[in-house]
Structure 1
């Protein structure tokens, strides 16, 4: 953390992004007392840049939020009317900025801060007039300097068990070590996670999976105790589950993709969201956590998806990505032929790329791992560089044309002929319509129809 005064760090943080300067200028002009709090103060002191501002006001957060939205030409949202929580969303170019506003949770700001989750989130800076003195009733600044994660008060986890999972993420994200007393409190309270809504568990888990080193965060004893409760898996199924995630993260972050013709396309694939706010990269890590379930992994992952209220598309993707590992091409001694790759993607679709990435979990472990890595590269490359010729060959003939040409009756046999034609295209046996007609004629003469 930069060894500068809190005011200098905050000023530099505000100046680094025009949106922050503009938003804070409007907040400073408010009649009621307004404070920059929590993650915003923490990130400013760490020199970390994000798109969010966290604000507390002694007045009405709803009223302040509406005025701020008008001033910034943004959108206003009521997040929790009962507890006076609102959000302002401002779009500037491709970026979306959030200002989260809340009324005081206590009679005064110090009481509000003391009721927060961790000391490093329990700091505030008054925004009127100018930047005031740092308010730090629980010693968060010192903990931040010492890289310590400490609960703001003894009942922090009892009052909201989800804070335990949040602590796992924060320790991993900021390189913090758990204070022994805080770790003991978390472990003593962890069973209370059974009573938390699946949606809240899901959101906190996916925040962890978004970290570049999620495996390191989850390997802490607190993380390992939370995982079975979040995923509803037997702890035995999770033994060694973090090693595949770690190897996967190393592969995705390393130089293994540098120079690959599909490197940029693969990054786009991993960043794609299958549901709002959840990237395919996070789903891939979630799938890897199920590898210890063996043959039951696809089914278990789909059950996890239902439990965590993931979308249907996400659940199917998880199941197919793990199902892809059972394809015969992974067990074959020789390198996969084009037809094998076509059939692989025919079975699992776009999830086949995730399946190939999961296959890297055994890499690099000797000659077998090296062979699997080469195979994974070949299969991934096919999706991004040969999609129209090998993975999904462009149709040369239609079913109606086949019916008319050969006087056949519409039905399953037409589908079988079309599939046989696609396989012939993938195998390089058929290249144009003339060859397609000739190929089908021979099949029909042999009695395939």
Structure 2
């Protein structure tokens, strides 16, 4: 049923391969990372780092956890060998993770994980284990999607119970960083949209991204054939179908691009038409709130929010407009185009047609040609000091306004040398003084 088992690296003295690493090896998949239970984690980590040319460092000195990074390879984690290995394995989340392999390839399986592996079944070791660490509810969805397994009914029932207990504060929410990591593991999978649907089905999405759920059942009409929630999932799906290696920020932007629609929803009393005025700006603000709550890096949050805010900008109708589009949004490209394409391909309502999608593709082509023609911005012809000297201005916002206008004119090939740049600045100042 599974592929041929891959070779394993040399075992640390007295060590066992445990948990997900043992599971993956038994499935015939090279472990993404290696988890070792050893008598002396520090000594084992240093010995591996020395023999294989990696670096060893403590993850948690108090508990004796160590890690080894090897260049271009999976990392290796070392934890103390428990006094009662079976008892340790039986405290884990799912039977397929409650496994260990000895150097002689003997398999330790106190919970029946091998049978569940063969059946592609995700079964809890015990309900108490899931409640002891509620993050395991999110992990259940992640493992379903990434392993292609299915939760067995009793385990699914307990996962729903855990979600309900978290919602009513009977159980304590896991740290946001831990939830984020599970969500990111889902988003990095090709079937990420299905994973998000499973979070919703099990009651976990309301605990993770409640704002995203506000689009459930909110119909849009026009270009759209899906409600706002399903449209976001479909946009993510369309992105990954075209760009399987899309980075996480781009995946987030595709998913959240319309998150502002539910709160900007209005209906024209006379025509009955639905509108979502300002949903791009509101969506950017909500995106910032949501991803800050999940502890994403600040730079990623800013980039994602800017993509959400910009996803409605009109595409250019001509070559000059395409150069202007690139100049004004260069730091968002090509990500912005990917979000816009995913948005358009996820909308196949009555107003959508092959002709409209073709026109959209032509406009995108203009932007790509302009970006290819000038992959980097042209060097500035004048500095802020030059502008201040020329116009006898003190430092201030007016200098920035002039420079922005000048640099855009340069980007549009309207100005090609310093002499023309100085003349442009003087004309700009003269027009301003005449107002």
Aligned residue in 1 for 2:115: 142
Distance 2:98 2:369 in 1: 48
Aligned residue in 2 for 1:249: 237
Q: Which runs of 5+ in 1 are unaligned?
A: 4-8, 15-19, 258-265, 272-278
Q: TM-score, normalised by structure 1?
A: 0.77
Aligned residue in 1 for 2:274: none
Question: Could you say if the C-alpha distance between residues 224 and 448 of structure 1 is closer, same or farther in structure 2, counting changes exceeding 3 Å?
Answer: farther
Which of 291, 300, 318 does residue 305 from structure 1 map onto? 291
Question: Could you say if the C-alpha distance between residues 283 and 351 of structure 1 is closer, same or farther in structure 2, counting changes exceeding 3 Å?
Answer: farther
Aligned residue in 1 for 2:58: 78
- Structure 1 segment 1-400 matched on structure 2, within 5 A: 1-2=1-2, 9-10=4-5, 13-14=6-7, 20-21=8-9, 23-24=10-11, 27=12, 30=13, 32=14, 34-57=15-38, 59-91=39-71, 95-104=72-81, 107-127=83-103, 131-193=104-166, 195-220=173-198, 225-233=203-211, 235-237=213-215, 240-254=228-242, 270-271=246-247, 279-285=248-254, 287-288=256-257, 290=259, 292-293=261-262, 295=279, 296-327=282-313, 329=314, 335=317, 338-339=320-321, 342=324, 346=328, 350-351=331-332, 353-359=334-340, 360-363=342-345, 365=348, 366-367=352-353, 368-379=356-367, 382-383=370-371, 385-388=373-376, 392-400=377-385
Question: Could you say if the C-alpha distance between residues 98 and 410 of structure 1 is closer, same or farther in structure 2, counting changes exceeding 3 Å?
Answer: closer
C-alpha contact 2:235 2:345 (8 A) present in aligned 1:
yes
Aligned residue in 1 for 2:267: none
Shift of 1:51: 4.4
Distance 2:137 2:214 in 1: 22
Question: Could you say if the C-alpha distance between residues 143 and 385 of structure 1 is closer, same or farther in structure 2, counting changes exceeding 3 Å?
Answer: farther
C-alpha contact 2:17 2:101 (8 A) present in aligned 1:
yes
Distance 2:388 2:176 in 1: 52
Shift of 1:444: 3.7
Deviation readout 1:94-140 (Å, 9 max, x if unpaired): x14311122245x422222222111111221111xxx2322222222
Aligned length: 395
Distance 2:155 2:102 in 1: 29
C-alpha contact 1:298 1:319 (8 A) present in aligned 2:
yes
Question: Could you say if the C-alpha distance between residues 209 and 68 of structure 1 is closer, same or farther in structure 2, counting changes exceeding 3 Å?
Answer: same
C-alpha contact 2:238 2:345 (8 A) present in aligned 1:
no
Aligned residue in 1 for 2:268: none
SS in 2 for 1:97: coil
Q: Which runs of 5+ in 2 are unaligned?
A: 167-171, 218-227, 265-278
Distance 1:429 1:439 in 2: 10
Q: Which has the higher helix share?
A: 1
Shift of 1:344: 7.2
Distance 2:119 2:161 in 1: 25
Distance 2:22 2:178 in 1: 24
Shift of 1:65: 2.6
C-alpha contact 1:291 1:297 (8 A) present in aligned 2:
yes
